Structures are given as structure tokens and as C-alpha cells.
Amino acid sequence: MIEEVLPALFRIEIPLPGSPLKSINSYVIRAPDRNLIVDTGLNRKECLEAMQAGLRELGVDLKETDFFITHMHADHFGLVGRLVTDTSTVYFNRLDAEVFEAGGWSGWDAMIEYAGRSGFPEEELRAALHNHPGYKYGSEGVPRLTILEDGETFVRGDYRFECVQTPGHTRGHMCLYEPAKKILLCGDHILHDITPNIQCWSDKENPLEDYLASLDKVYQLEVDLALPGHRSLFRNYRERIEELKRHHRERADEVLAVLGGGPQNAFQVASQMTWDIIEESWGRFPIAQKWFATGEAIAHLRYLEERGKIFRTGEGKAITYSVHPDAVHS
């Protein structure tokens, strides 16, 4: 499905088969000099076909097209390697690029080790990994990337885009702001119909803290229309940011309440949180959903830990958390 959002700015809806996200929004700016495609889809046949059909309909020649990818996740980045031509520039952020440079898949080993320490059952770990779309449908080789820094600007046709770094959903996530048109291409930083997933798989990071700071950072932008990476475009920009902040405060309080029952690891905490999923019990959750849920529980646990609301207990490598006696609210 193709929609002209603004003059020369189009949205192609790329299907994500089997994913609860359903589809990804790829934005195409048609310009006399070079076209720009923002985000691409997974590296799989269904995405490639939808993209090619859309570009054909728009008369976009990939030889005259560059790319901007908001973040490293496979549903945004995975297909770009199949679309680039010899003349394409792929714009990307430094921190996510460093993850690719560090060897890509080697990062999975550290994640798996951390998931094990967080109580994720050993036998389910490999299954979770092999079902992970980032593992199955990631880019085959990373194309040459041109790094853009926070605050840098570039022009495409009538659009002058400003890069806004918004760490949280990933370490280097970047949005594109067009101040004259009052639009924000927000990737997975702000979504309207679903809550962006904030995950943590490391003791060195505190992505929820980063995410909330990034929400505050973009709150002051004048935005009439937000163009997110998934689902519907929206106009109630500041209201949505406030909703997301409220959501995470409530989630953090929920985690504190769960921990009120005694020391627990992240997997146990996740199993008692409320999830927006049809399965009636945690035991019946698909493994991939348990993975995302545990990652999200860890993001809230790390946030509460850094705020001094909870602390680690237990022995050895296993990570177990307890509530600080005087912690009441997040």
C-alpha cells in the first residue's frame, strides 16, 4: 500500500509476516537530484517484493536513491543490503554502527549469557535465538555506512532534515526532523498504536533512563504530524509522549509490586507482569515473546536499580533483585 503523506513524501507499507508489528512504514522522498528511502524491512522475499512493487509504482530508480536507517533492528535495516546500488549512500548513526563493527552475531553470545543469568531457562535460550527475526532476517553483510551525528542536516528536494539522536529503543536510534514542515520521522522512538519495546541485556546499560531522556529531548520539537516506523501516523504528538512516559512509570511500579513478593530474577518478574498478548498464561507465550518480555523487565529492573529503589541479592552469576525497604514509587 502506498500513500502520499506530503508532496513528494510517500509511505510504503512493507508487510512483516508473522510479526505482531504486522508491517513497517518505509518512507520515500522523491527528489530531482537523489531520492531517499527511510527504513526498509526485513531481509526476506515478502519485504523485497513489496518494496520493489512500491518503488516501481512511484517510478523510483534505486541507482538514484540513498538510504537513511533509523536504527539497527532487522525490520528497519535488514533489507537495505539488497537495495543498495554502487552509487547509494546509506546514512546511519555511530552507536548502532559500532554494534555491527563489533562483529554482529558475537553480540548474541553476550546476550544469551546475560539472559541465562537473568533466569531465562537454558534449554529455551537457543530456541529463542533461532526464532529471533534479527537472527533469521538480518542483513547479509553490512553495506558501507555514512555516519550522521546528532544535529547534522541534509537536504532532499523541498525537505531539510535535521538528525535527532534518540537513544533508548537502541543505543544510537536517530529520528529525522523537518522544522519547516513540522514533521518527525520517528522510527521506533515514538509509536502511536503500540508501545516501543525497550530492552536491556547488559549491566553496563540503562536504556529506559536513556529512552525517557530522549522522550524529553523531542518533546519540545514543533511537530504537527509524526511519521512512525510502524502502524498509523499521528498528530497528538505531545500527548502521546506523555502517555509513553506514564506507561513506563506504571510499569516500573508494577515491577516494584511484583518484587514486593520477595527476591526474584528478571524471568520470574516478567512472568508476573501484565502483557498485551492473547495467550492466557505465561507458560503458553511463544518463546520470542518471552524473550522480549524478559528484556523489557530487565530494562525496568536496571532503571529501578540505578535509582536505588531495588538492589541485587543472590550468589554467583545469577542476578536476583529485591526491593529497597523504603522504596515506594518509581
Question: 24, 25, 33, 42: which is closest to 63 by C-alpha?
Answer: 33
C-alpha cell at 164: 535527532
CB atoms within 10 A of CB 253: 16
Question: 265, 163, 273: which is closest to 221 by C-alpha?
Answer: 163
Strand, helix or coil at 294? helix
H or E element that contains 26: strand 23-29
**How many of the chain's residues bind Zn ion (CB under 5 A)?**
2
C-alpha cell at 134: 534479527
Q: How far is the CB of 86 from Zn ion (least distance, A)?
A: 28
Q: How far is the CB of 187 from Zn ion (least distance, A)?
A: 7
Closer to Zn ion by Cβ: residue 210 or 305: 210
Q: How far is the CB of 74 from Zn ion (least distance, A)?
A: 9
Closer to Zn ion by Cβ: residue 88 or 170: 170
Whether residue 182 contacts residue 222, with contact meaning beta carbons closer than 8 Å, is answered with yes
Question: What angle in degrees, to the nearest 10, is found between the helix axes of 122-131 and 106-117?
Answer: 140
Q: Interacting stretch for Zn ion, rule CB under 5 A, among 67-75, 158-166, 215-223, 321-329?
A: 67-75
Closer to Zn ion by Cβ: residue 159 or 292: 292
Q: How far is the CB of 280 from Zn ion (least distance, A)?
A: 27
Edge-to-edge strand list for the sheet holding 90-92? 2-6, 9-15, 23-29, 35-38, 65-68, 90-92, 145-147
Q: Interacting stretch for Zn ion, rule CB under 5 A, among 71-79, 253-261, 280-288, 320-328?
A: 71-79
Question: 171, 184, 168: which is closest to 218 by C-alpha?
Answer: 184
Closer to Zn ion by Cβ: residue 28 or 198: 198
For residue 150, what are the contacts with CB-CB under 8 A and spacing of at least 6?
A: 163, 164, 165, 174
Measured torsion, CA atoms of residues 9, 72, 125, 295, in degrees rounded to the nearest 10: -80
Closer to Zn ion by Cβ: residue 50 or 74: 74
Q: How far is the CB of 96 from Zn ion (least distance, A)?
A: 10
Closer to Zn ion by Cβ: residue 81 or 157: 81
Report if residue 66 touches Zn ion, rule: CB under 5 A: no
Binding mask 151-190 for Zn ion (x = CB under 5 A): -------------------------------------x--
Q: How far is the CB of 329 from Zn ion (least distance, A)?
A: 29
Binder to Zn ion among 11, 30, 44, 73 (CB under 5 A)?
A: 73
Q: How far is the CB of 173 from Zn ion (least distance, A)?
A: 8
Closest residue to Zn ion using C-beta atoms: 73
Closer to Zn ion by Cβ: residue 119 or 196: 196
Whether residue 208 contacts residue 3, with contact meaning beta carbons closer than 8 Å, is answered with no
Closer to Zn ion by Cβ: residue 296 or 305: 296
Q: Which residues bind Zn ion (CB under 5 A)?
A: 73, 188
